[in-house]
Amino acid sequence: MHKATQEVYNAMLQKDPNQPELHQAVKVFLNSIDSVVADEPRIVYHKVLDRLIEPERTIIFRIPWIDDNGKLQINRGFRIQQNSSLGPYKGGLRFHPSVNLSILRFLAFEQVFKNSLTGLPMGGGKGGADFNPKGKSDNEIMKFCQSFMTELAKHIGSNTDVPAGDMGVGSREIGYLFGQYKRIQNEVTGVLTGKGVSFGGSLIRPEATGYGLIYMAQAVLKGEGDTLEGKKCLVSGTGNVAQFTVQKILQLGGKVLTMSDSNGVIIDEEGIDEDKLAYMMNLKNVKRGRISEYITRYPSAKYIARSGAEEYNELWNVKADCAFPCATQNEINEIDAQHIVKNGVKLVCEGANMPTNIEGQQIFKKAGILYVPGKAANAGGVAVSGLEMSQNSERLSWTKENVDEKLQQIMETIYNNISEAADTYSTHNNFTDGANIAGFLKVADAMIAQGYV
Ligand code: NDP
Ligand code: 2IT
């Protein structure tokens, strides 16, 4: 990194020493944009770097609630309002016991550039709580969501900040959060996205992140004169993003060999087909069960239990053509990345946010793997959230076909823009640099035009 860029990074380390996920995201980003901001006339961009890292506003609050046993519970809630230069803050809410300031700040930081890449007028934000939804009753989830929104409602609004789902927050939670917002504000607006279709939700929003991810993969493969047809694919996770990633791969003639949850991995060499996916979706979304049950129904598959402390993940050690990490941050370390390369994978598209650690990313780069970072590859979710905001504003609902077509166009445009930025400022097919630079330039220009705020 050039001196001025390095100084920005060092200042962050000094100010927020205990935020490793934020440091990781900022480091990758600064490395990408460093060459662009180094020389005249663009040196002026250095003036916005410290402001990009510092959130416009950080809200931390108490969430008191009462469980089914009448016991008082408390959690910590957050909303990081990172950057509003392109529009209202926009980004998901995560409910997971690991949630802390570092994780949400990295997610909010990434969200700013992701939203910029969609081409829609959205700033970036992220929020959530260190709440563990596992094992909670529906009543407890509802009580928790209502208490969470009782405070959050003071800080959001359809023209201010529009949250959505992320890990642990799906349509059930968005419904409860929306209901409570309405009670408090006595106002029906598009203050959240991912709503039920009967009360303002957009068709295709549940599918959007996974479908968009595969539209991106399609665009990248097309650039190489190839398609997904017949490709063997590794998918991690079994949540919202993973499920619709698998669905779209199957629709396009690919074969899916793996899925996972936080307790273990399924490897099914015969392929996870539509029937098996339907079983998995019912298991995860309705029964809220563990994927270990999959092998009782499909005994020819293999289940490998995981504690999370293993040196590597067997899921990434399977011969395949494409890999789609769709679970969580840093799920691919350097050993996993080496396995992915060794096993012949040519394309890695990130459905999760920052699933590959820095060493892993370097291994992909060295091996010449086509690697699309989350901020470009998983932007389809927030893009359709942006389309939901538009529909709410005009009080109309667009058809499934219409939204899906717009999603495809947006993903193709993102591919074109990050490819072009890579060719102009970095090297051909360096989608990390392309995504960071293309996302950054738009945000930086808007910040400068608005007086460096
Ligand atoms: P979900 O909560 O629906 O699913 C998360 C999945 O990841 C579950 O299968 C979960 O397993 C698994 N998982 C969680 N933690 C771990 C872990 N430590 N090790 C292994 N597996 C784990 O979340 P989403 O599908 O919505 O989100 C997945 C990723 O995609 C996240 O990185 C999120 O930020 C990102 N993303 C989500 C978007 C969206 O629209 N929802 C948009 C863009 C990105 P278990 O069931 O055991 O918890
Ligand atoms: O990481 C993400 O882009 C999301 N969780 C979706 C955010 C949104 O506002 O739809």
Instruction: Answer whether residue 47 shows pLDDT above 90.
Output: no
Distance from the alpha carbon of residue 6 to the mean position of ligand 1, in angstroms? 32
Give φ, ψ of 242 to 5 degrees: -60, -45
pLDDT of residue 270: 98
pLDDT of residue 415: 98
Checking DSSP bridges between strand 302-305 and strand 264-267, what pairing results, if any?
antiparallel
Query: Which has the closest alpha carbon to 238: 324, 172, 163, 321?
Result: 324
pLDDT of residue 46: 86
Instruction: Answer whether residue 41 shows pLDDT above 80.
Output: no
* Set 3, 15, 47, 126: catalytic member: 126
Tell which one of 114, 160, 166, 174 to mutate to probe ligand 2, the residue whose CB is within 8 A of the most ligand atoms. 166
Q: Which ligand is nearest to the CA of 384?
A: 2
Instruction: Answer whether residue 40 shows pLDDT above 80.
Output: no
Query: Which has the closest alpha carbon to 439: 124, 10, 92?
Result: 124
Nearest CA to ligand 1 atom 4: 239
Mean pLDDT of the chain: 97
DSSP tag of 170: -
212 touches ligand 1 (CB under 6 Å): no
Nearest CA to ligand 1 atom 38: 166
pLDDT of residue 164: 98
Distance from the alpha carbon of residue 166 to the mean position of ligand 2, in angstroms? 6
DSSP string, 221-242: HHHTT--STT-EEEE---SHHH
pLDDT of residue 331: 98
For residues 46-73, average pLDDT: 96
Q: Which ligand is nearest to the CA of 377?
A: 1
- Residues at CB less than 6 angstroms from ligand 2: 90-92, 111, 114, 164, 166, 193, 353, 381-382, 385
Nearest CA to ligand 1 atom 29: 352
Nearest CA to ligand 1 atom 8: 239
> Which of the four pLDDT bands, split at 50, 70 and 90, describes residue 76?
very high
Known catalytic membership, residue 126: yes
Distance from the alpha carbon of residue 327 to the mean position of ligand 1, in angstroms? 4
Rounded distance between C-alpha atoms, residue 184 and residue 368, angstroms: 53
Instruction: Answer whether residue 52 shows pLDDT above 80.
Output: yes
Which residues, 6 or more positions from 390, have their beta carbon under 8 angstroms from its beta carbon?
none
Tell which one of 134, 167, 288 to mutate to probe ligand 1, the residue whose CB is within 8 A of the most ligand atoms. 167
353 touches ligand 1 (CB under 6 Å): yes
Q: How many residues does the chain have?
A: 453
Domains, the chain, ordered by start: 3-189 (3.40.50.10860), 208-372 (3.40.50.720)
Rounded distance between C-alpha atoms, residue 164 and residue 67, angstroms: 24
Rounded distance between C-alpha atoms, residue 303 and residue 318, angstroms: 13
Checking DSSP bridges between strand 57-66 and strand 72-83, what pairing results, if any?
antiparallel
Q: Write the pLDDT tens digit of every residue in 144-190.
A: 999 999 999 999 999 999 999 999 999 999 999 999 999 999 999 99
Instruction: Answer whether residue 42 shows pLDDT above 80.
Output: no
Assessment of whether the complete model's pTM goes beyond 0.85: yes
pLDDT of residue 4: 87
28's tokens:
């990758």
Rounded distance between C-alpha atoms, residue 367 and residue 121, angstroms: 36
Share of residues in the chain with pLDDT > 70 (%) = 100
Distance from the alpha carbon of residue 115 to the mean position of ligand 2, in angstroms? 9
Q: Write the pLDDT tens digit of every residue in 81-103.
A: 999 999 999 999 999 999 999 99
Q: Write the pLDDT tens digit of every residue in 359-392.
A: 999 999 999 999 999 999 999 999 999 999 999 9
Instruction: Answer whether residue 220 shows pLDDT above 90.
Output: yes
Q: Write the pLDDT tens digit of every residue in 115-127.
A: 999 999 999 999 9
Nearest CA to ligand 1 atom 30: 352
Checking DSSP bridges between strand 264-267 and strand 232-235, what pairing results, if any?
unpaired
Peptide bond into 41 cis (omega under 30): yes
Query: Which has the closest alpha carbon to 249: 278, 213, 208?
Result: 213
Q: Is 128 helix (H, G, I), strand (E, B) or coil?
A: strand
Share of residues in the chain with pLDDT > 90 (%) = 96
Distance from the alpha carbon of residue 270 to the mean position of ligand 2, in angstroms? 33
Tell which one of 241, 382, 388 to mutate to probe ligand 1, the residue whose CB is within 8 A of the most ligand atoms. 241
> Which of the four pLDDT bands, split at 50, 70 and 90, describes residue 413?
very high
> Which of the four pLDDT bands, split at 50, 70 and 90, describes residue 39?
confident
* Strands in 339-397 per DSSP E: 347-349, 370-372
Nearest CA to ligand 2 atom 9: 91
Q: Are 377 and 216 in contact (CB under 8 A)?
A: yes
Ligand 1 atom closest to the Cα of residue 378 is 43
Rounded distance between C-alpha atoms, residue 426 and residue 436, angstroms: 11
pLDDT of residue 265: 98
DSSP string, 281-314: HIIIIIS---GGGHHHHSTTSEEEE--S-SSS-G
Q: Write the pLDDT tens digit of every residue in 393-411.
A: 999 999 999 999 999 999 9
How many angstroms separate the Cα of 202 from the Cα of each of 99, 105, 205, 286? 28, 27, 6, 21
Alpha-carbon torsion angle 118, 124, 130, 134, nearest 10? -20
Instruction: Answer whether residue 35 shows pLDDT above 90.
Output: no
